[in-house]
Chain A
């Protein structure tokens, strides 16, 4: 992580009201995680304790403390997708993912009328069957 880049992100957001979340999003986006060094720099810039910043980072599912370089397949496993049979696809998807792909469960992508749905590299997919989901995982 380049200190100058981090400083630039912090400077861009620190004037805003309630700056912490936008700042954390930017850091997560740029570095794939929010590590101890970033937490310290952010805490200093916003006049917070490191514990406060760490408390926020650890509260939200979107923020991670260590990077995970694996490709991510987000599979919706909330009620509406369960009603459309997503649970029956999970075993095959997990087998296809192995250790190579981070198969992450999410609660609702908002495509509830046409599940099962997933998101890969920002692209949404709906109405998946087992073969389509396995293909998404293996090509992720």
Chain B
């Protein structure tokens, strides 16, 4: 009897992959647990001799084994969703067992690290710069330049820190990578450590990802001899979204409140425990083994458009028919991603809005769907690509409520260090509530107090409230210490601009 392959990714498990695997074993089949192909609407997806069946339930087991199942999707590798992709970072997705060193080595694992270690560190950094790789966490800073700063920094101790605090809604590529191909991340970190001269690394994972944490712990243990003398440790977050901001993440590893630090000094010069530190996102570090393979950087820089080079693992999420992971070169349009690849909404209703880049990203209107996936093109349209998450909303979405939620989320997750974010977010919720109910009729209790000399004693019209909201957002955007307060205006402004009718 042939081997049955089922993913052990957390999403597949949430949809019943464990129960399905048990049912196959009970039926006498040999089950192999692999990483996920990333076609989430088909999970749990069963692979038998390269042919796919999904979404499968334990009731489908006999038919799948007998070859009579009507859930067949044909050869998985030939599925249009997979065929259209250019997978570099996710090259092993669906194909290997996450914790099998044998599988990793057989698919080119550790060769980039061996090559990098035989090179001068300056040459390694030069190749990463040449590849054009930019930080995949959202800011898009050139990774090689950051590495060079750390390499040139004086210091007896240096650190490599992986930011795996993937808190943005609509993103799951870090999780899939850590669960599906943990050795690749470890190899990328070991290369970074060699390039900058670091002896210790930390992977800071959010506590909401227990599957990823377990996989990484095990993978680090298994890979210890391959990466020695480099030491690696997983540190678990504690439910604070703001710890995805690099300086607040460093404070958290140090055992402090996850408050943002003012920059400068840059973490590259004074980072973890005050030492020069590379802080990179999971996807940035996981792209490194491909770039450091022979000729890899030259290949990488030829992909993409303008200053956005290489590939981006894009995450199709929210109300989308074919959700999942789609890695492709930069430059693809939203229309292509949402309508052709994603198949429109899961509910079958028209697409109303798409939020790109997580809770701090702008809501894009279908009239903007021609935008190419590119850091600068999005910035030019007052949007951001962030970590590459795309959340689709159908026409039942209330964009006024989503704008309010942006402020509410910021208020709940603000670290509290700077005033625009800490106070502004709460004032924003109140303002949106007032705008949605037609403006304030009378001055409130505080404004009416005799000592509030400068406060006006009459109510404000809707237009005046909107002007106040714009002032508030300007203060937040330019006055906040980090992107949490600084980017919260993006979803609000875009919602106001495209869907004013949702604001009462």
- A→B interface (CB under 8 Å): 17-22, 24-25, 46, 55-56, 59-63, 76, 78-85, 106-115, 117, 122, 124-127
Contact = CB atoms under 8 A, between A and B. Distances in A.
B409 interface: yes
A84 B238 contact: no
Contacts of A124: 10-11, 13-14
Interface string B310-333: 000001111110011000000000
A62 B391 contact: no
B210 to A, nearest CB: 7
Interface in B203-219: 207-210
Contact of B175 (A60, A76, A81, A110): A110
Given A21-B235, A25-B238, A84-B346, A126 B11 contact: yes
Interface in B127-160: none
Given A80-B318, A83-B393, A18 B169 contact: no
B181 interface: no
A55 B255 CA distance: 11
Contacts of B259: 59
A89 to B, nearest CB: 14
A82 B238 contact: no
A102 to B, nearest CB: 15
A79 B355 contact: yes
Interface of B: 10-11, 13-15, 40-41, 43, 166-172, 175, 207-210, 235-241, 252-259, 273, 315-320, 323-324, 346, 355, 358-359, 389, 391-394, 397, 402, 405, 409, 412-413, 415
A133 to B, nearest CB: 13
B352 to A, nearest CB: 10
Contact of B324 (A63, A110, A113): A113
A40 B429 CA distance: 38
Contacts of B41: 113-114
B167 A79 contact: no
Contacts of B43: 114
Contacts of B412: 107
A82 B257 contact: no
Chain A to chain B: the 10 pairs with minimum beta-carbon distance, closest first:
A113-B323, A20-B255, A78-B169, A61-B239, A83-B318, A60-B238, A112-B317, A124-B14, A62-B238, A126-B14
A106 B210 CA distance: 15
Contacts of B40: 113-114
B391 A55 contact: no
Contacts of A106: 208
B170 A79 contact: yes
30 contacts: A18-B253, A20-B256, A21-B252, A56-B256, A59-B258, A60-B237, A60-B238, A60-B239, A60-B240, A61-B238, A78-B170, A79-B318, A79-B359, A82-B397, A82-B402, A83-B391, A83-B392, A107-B169, A108-B169, A108-B208, A110-B209, A111-B10, A112-B170, A112-B171, A112-B389, A113-B320, A114-B43, A122-B210, A124-B14, A126-B11
A134 to B, nearest CB: 18
Given A17-B273, A114-B40, 14 more contacts: A18-B235, A18-B255, A25-B238, A59-B415, A61-B239, A78-B359, A79-B391, A82-B405, A84-B318, A106-B208, A109-B208, A110-B172, A112-B389, A117-B14
A113 B273 CA distance: 38
Nearest to A88: B396
A113 B238 contact: no
B169 A81 contact: yes
B169 A112 contact: yes
A76 B358 CA distance: 15
Contacts of A82: 397, 402, 405
Contact of B10 (A55, A81, A107, A110): A110
B11 A113 contact: yes
Most chain B CB inside 10 Å of its own CB: which residue of A55, A84, A85, A109: A84
Contacts of B397: 82-83
A55 B207 CA distance: 19
Nearest to B166: A110
A66 to B, nearest CB: 17
A76 B208 CA distance: 11
Nearest to B167: A108
A106 B405 CA distance: 14
A115 B13 CA distance: 14
B413 A107 contact: yes
B257 to A, nearest CB: 4
B213 to A, nearest CB: 11
Contacts of A107: 167, 169, 241, 359, 409, 412-413
A117 B43 CA distance: 14
Nearest to B210: A122
Nearest to B409: A107
